[in-house]
Structure 1
């Protein structure tokens, strides 16, 4: 707790912020511009702004909960505090674990696309090989410890943010206002529909809640890290999307896909700009995979300790914690089995459901946390509304993704009920809550 003396080698508030920023920026800028542009056109910056506002509402909720219940279990501790260690918390935990794997898979896929363009002429097979290799390397780094993860992440994020700021400044200074004219925007429902996709770019801020166990004074520092990370990420998303869509047409951004940012650098920075942005993309996606894998260790150990996950998740195989191994393997499966857009869609849907459940849990606890109930309700309505829009647009157009999402939900329910039934038969079902 925050009143206890701080052990040595604690994570700083800026390092926790960088873990969140690194996870968000890697997913949002280099992976989603093309996909979001296909729906929202040149109004993507508006979509990012709306998604950032929704994320801020959730960030307020997470900050209040994290200050009251700092734990290595992060937002999953919040679920258990609100609903108890029953099926709601258990199913939510399995869903969040899968969502974490999806986030890692999508960012690694983006890395593989850039890396294969550099070393293998864009070969699709090499893209998947390199994506899985990155997951393996970052998994190894995470076994070294939280401080190693934080130090590497800080260096990567500082480099990436510096380059993105330069990119945003030079592209906005030279943008063509006609390309961003509201008259060229798609219908409002399309822009709203794209929010479900761009919200995926903000999923990384949830990772910050798992840094509580490594912060010296989590009750004070965790909210600061959450607010800072969201402010930085939203500013970068809006500025960079203005620069990109003010330089390229929406059709060009869609055509270039994951390399759209690098292509947008050419008119102002030339070929050197293209190379620089490719390098930046590799750094950014590397940092995002690093940050995405970070929660798996503390999360799985916490969930095993309270009986939500089997005890094996609290153990290790040599230096590799079992939770980290399972998340890395799941991410590799998603890399091999889904394309980039499908991965993003599934991840968004799962995360929106989990975040909504956390909001409901918080409404049961707001008198304890001191949160404003009206803000919590607005956040819940906005998050659920985004999920409904997502289901009535994206999922209707992607039946395979809808089936995969349904499969994940059903599997989470089956696994949770089966594990708890087996645990009761053995008469061993620890249900304590991590302090």
Structure 2
């Protein structure tokens, strides 16, 4: 297969024509705006990450965590540049997975990465929902672990229902959640920075450059959700122009929030205190200025934030799996609905997420999503090398993006996976599973096609 897909070839393999087409007269306008699309990305990023990461990052980078977030934001922006160029040229409901196929074709590489992305989405959704369950249980059930699971499962069911209702409902709810979260975090950053102790942020107390770079592998996890924006193309009236704007806006907002919040926290608490408080560090940092009301406010923010992240994590599953079924990467069942409205891809992801919440110790594989996402982003960038002349992207920027992303993965492997054997094993398991799913499905698909060619009166699998 040719590495580059022109319009005719795109039709031949079942993909949409790359060039964005104007909507016919009288066609209903798509509901999503640039702001709503960016809020889906912000919601996916500013979820449990900012609450859970500060302690872990502080243990490595000390009070220089704000610098770590800034560097991670720059790396994410490099990937965002690549995704924006691809999205402008090839808007598709398949998002970044459709971009991958433009470079590698519809072979095993695209199939394996697609399964990886799908499974990782379920893992991240389960992790964030579990965080929501923990906060909710602490508020109303005295930290009862059973209720924590119940609340997590209920959240997944509610957000799945919301996604079944439609993308416009997702956009409206996500916009409301993100506005509330951003307003509270902005207030937190302002009041803590105004009252912080400058000596706590003195560069003389920062660790070495190696430690700061090592912590980037942790803080980059907080930016993983920006890739979700690529799947909003199907809901944007003019994705060629609007998708890049949504991408850059989301990354800019998330970076500003992370840097501001980390400056406020580490300017109020010592690095040792941040590490000790862990996920509640933001709430503890709010106490000196806002008192107990500030603590409660940050807990409420955590609930909204994690709810929005689950919503955003589930959002791409329907359009993505439908697209992958159409091009033959996923079984054809993923292109259908359960009943009249519930996409199979969304329902399956919700079920996998619920299973993980109930059956797995998600804290032991909390870093898995970061590791897999770094590999997926790197694969998309490599595929972009084959189409950069069509997208108009700068080859130098793409090379820098790939080096930065793979470098982050290498650092992550050396500093995190070596100390988390369960995560390393889980990474091998999910990579193996993706390969097996792709190989087994394509063998079944090809046998069905061969049988159909011999007996045209039967339907292929």
Q: Is the 8 A contact 1:2 1:220 kept in 2?
A: no
Q: Name the residue aligned to 1:3.
A: 22
For 1:223 and 1:239, locate their aligned partners in 2 and report how far apart those are by CA, in whole Å. Answer: 24
Work out whether 1:54 is the aligned partner of 2:75.
yes
Please, which of 373, 395, 403 is the counterpart of residue 425 of structure 2? 403
For 1:247 and 1:429, locate their aligned partners in 2 and report how far apart those are by CA, in whole Å. Answer: 69
Q: Name the residue aligned to 1:433.
A: none
Work out whether 1:418 is the aligned partner of 2:414.
no
For 2:421 and 2:177, locate their aligned partners in 1 and report how far apart those are by CA, in whole Å. Answer: 37
Work out whether 1:366 is the aligned partner of 2:385.
no
Alignment of 1:24-63 (within 5 A): 24-63=45-84
Alpha-carbon distance, 1:333 to partner: 3.4
Q: Is the 8 A contact 2:80 2:247 kept in 1?
A: yes
Q: Name the residue aligned to 2:338.
A: 317
Which one is further off, 18-27 or 336-345? 336-345
For 1:152 and 1:271, locate their aligned partners in 2 and report how far apart those are by CA, in whole Å. Answer: 28
Q: Is the 8 A contact 2:48 2:302 kept in 1?
A: no
For 1:171 and 1:97, locate their aligned partners in 2 and report how far apart those are by CA, in whole Å. Answer: 39
Deviations 1:196-238 (A, max 9, x none): 1211111111000000000000000000000000000000000
Q: Name the residue aligned to 2:185.
A: 164
Q: Secondary structure at the match of 1:26?
A: coil
Work out whether 1:76 is the aligned partner of 2:127.
no
Q: Secondary structure at the match of 2:367?
A: helix
Deviation >6 Å, runs of 4+: none
- Structure 2 unaligned blocks of 5 or more: 1-19, 453-461
Q: Is the 8 A contact 1:7 1:216 kept in 2?
A: no
Q: How many residues align?
A: 430
For 2:405 and 2:117, locate their aligned partners in 1 and report how far apart those are by CA, in whole Å. Answer: 16
Q: Do the aligned partners of residues 326 and 199 (structure 1) sit closer, same or farther apart at CA in structure 2, a change above 3 Å counting? A: same
Deviations 1:251-291 (A, max 9, x none): 22222222221111110001111111111111111111111
Alignment of 1:11-160 (within 5 A): 11-160=32-181
For 2:144 and 2:186, locate their aligned partners in 1 and report how far apart those are by CA, in whole Å. Answer: 31
Alpha-carbon distance, 1:9 to partner: 4.2
Q: Is the 8 A contact 1:95 1:350 kept in 2?
A: yes
For 2:28 and 2:66, locate their aligned partners in 1 and report how far apart those are by CA, in whole Å. Answer: 42
Which one is further off, 315-324 or 356-365? 315-324
Work out whether 1:334 is the aligned partner of 2:351.
no
Q: Is the 8 A contact 2:32 2:236 kept in 1?
A: yes
Which one is further off, 17-26 or 122-131? 122-131
- Structure 1 unaligned blocks of 5 or more: 431-435
Work out whether 1:180 is the aligned partner of 2:180.
no
Q: Normalising to structure 1: TM-score of the pair?
A: 0.95
Q: Do the aligned partners of residues 88 and 70 (structure 1) sit closer, same or farther apart at CA in structure 2, a change above 3 Å counting? A: same
For 1:347 and 1:406, locate their aligned partners in 2 and report how far apart those are by CA, in whole Å. Answer: 13
Deviations 1:314-367 (A, max 9, x none): 122224221112212222333345555544310000000000000000011000
Q: Name the residue aligned to 2:15.
A: none
Q: Is the 8 A contact 1:110 1:258 kept in 2?
A: no
For 1:428 and 1:29, locate their aligned partners in 2 and report how far apart those are by CA, in whole Å. Answer: 51
Q: Normalising to structure 2: TM-score of the pair?
A: 0.90
Alignment of 1:219-230 (within 5 A): 219-230=240-251
Which one is further off, 268-277 or 185-194? 185-194
Q: Do the aligned partners of residues 184 and 113 (structure 1) sit closer, same or farther apart at CA in structure 2, a change above 3 Å counting? A: farther
For 2:21 and 2:299, locate their aligned partners in 1 and report how far apart those are by CA, in whole Å. Answer: 42
Alpha-carbon distance, 1:428 to partner: 7.1
Work out whether 1:259 is the aligned partner of 2:280.
yes
Cα RMSD (Å) of the superposition?
1.7
Please, which of 385, 399, 407 is the counterpart of residue 407 of structure 2? 385
